[in-house]
Amino acid sequence: MIEIKEALSKKDLKKFIKFPFSLYKNSKSWVPPIISEELRTFDKNINPVFQDADGRFFLAYKDGKIVGRVAALINWIEVKEQEIKKMRFGWFDVIDDQDVTNALLDKVAEIGKTNKLEFVEGPIGFSNLDKVGVVYEGFDHIGSMITWENHPYYVKHLEAYGMTFGKGYSENKMAFSDIKPEYFSRIQELVKKRYQLKALNFTSNKDILPYTNQMFEVFTKSHSVLSSFVDINDAQREYFKKKFIGFLNPEYVKFVLDKDDNLIGFGIVTPSYAEALQKMNGKLWPFGFKHLLRAKKHSKTVTFYLIGVLPEYQNKGVTAVIFEEFHKTFSEKGITMCIRGPELDDNTAIQKLWKNFNPQVFKKRCTYVKDIK
């Protein structure tokens, strides 16, 4: 018999967070989260997402043993302002037992129906800055700090539950040697002169902070046309600043300013922390910080995390300015591989940015949807 219990106490939330550590114990592709950071994500007193969203966390038990988990999520900005009657689910992990999947997703659908929502979609988080998608190709490739991983049978489970393909996402890799500066070096000089733009580089994270509010504005305006986009509130922006600023290598943050020093475009890249997080196995102490710091300083693989350009400057070559600055920094640092994604398959604009750099798709993922009206 399968029993679904809600994780309400800190003790139960730790069980919720730690379940995948046993499920993926022998996986070479799964990248563990930092347990303390996950606890903060689920803490309604810390994470301001709960000002505009509801989240309930469930564990599945069979014969007294935890065999699955799921987060049932409602983003009320999406439901009320965008009028998208979506019930979300995320942090979804199960053993290879269809009955466990059915029981967990039935609980999600039940909450959705209670709130008069029309369909379920997942796995997704609260917003676009959370992880997304179930992997259906590329299981042999290591994941990243910003992705969920899963066993191949998840797809079978979701489809057997009656869910269908929702939104597709691809992850790409580009050898740095394939990124030829002739595609952007000359253009970026012309663009800077024509529009009176300048590139801004950093050596300290504290120097980035004064620009972060403008960065979120550019991010919102540049991504609002995407099919998955839901805005975040000011408190969430402050939360994400504090959450991720420590992971940034300031030299991998590139801003473009206009003649009045207003931010009009940006690119954020992080060192690859995947192998460091695997070594940490969820723990910052006593040696986890050392693994993170080593990756931050010495990783030869980088992950493109965010890129955005104000709509009025799009298709005017601003990304050439960003690429030029990254190319100079990556050359100095001896970077050998660039990872991108997940990026929406229907985001043709972002795909065009990389077309000359021989991008190779190495992992594909998607969300699944089901009507619950």
Phi, psi at 156, each rounded to 5°: -60, -45
Rounded to 5, what percent of the chain is helix, strand, coil?
Answer: 40, 30, 30
Q: Which residues contact 145 (CB under 8 A, 6 or more apart)?
A: 31, 247, 270, 273, 274, 277, 303
For the entire predicted model, the pTM comes to 0.93
Residues 56 and 111: beta-carbon distance below 8 Å: yes
Along the 373 residues of the chain, how does pLDDT read in single tens digits? 899 999 999 999 999 999 999 999 989 999 999 999 999 999 999 999 999 999 999 999 999 999 999 999 999 999 999 999 999 999 999 999 999 999 999 999 999 999 999 999 999 999 888 999 999 999 999 999 999 999 999 999 999 999 999 999 999 999 999 999 998 999 999 999 999 999 999 999 899 989 999 999 998 898 877 767 788 788 888 888 787 888 889 999 999 999 999 999 999 999 999 999 999 999 988 888 899 999 999 999 999 988 999 999 999 999 999 999 999 999 999 999 999 989 999 888 888 888 889 999 999 999 999 999 8
Residue in 368, 371, 299, 345 with CA at minimum distance from that of residue 150:
368
Interaxial angle between packed helices 98-114 and 153-160, expressed in degrees from 0 to 180 and rounded to the nearest 10: 50
Structure tokens of 258?
A: 């206009």
Residues 175 and 354: beta-carbon distance below 8 Å: no
Question: Taking the mean position of all CA atoms in its chain, how far away is CA 366?
Answer: 13
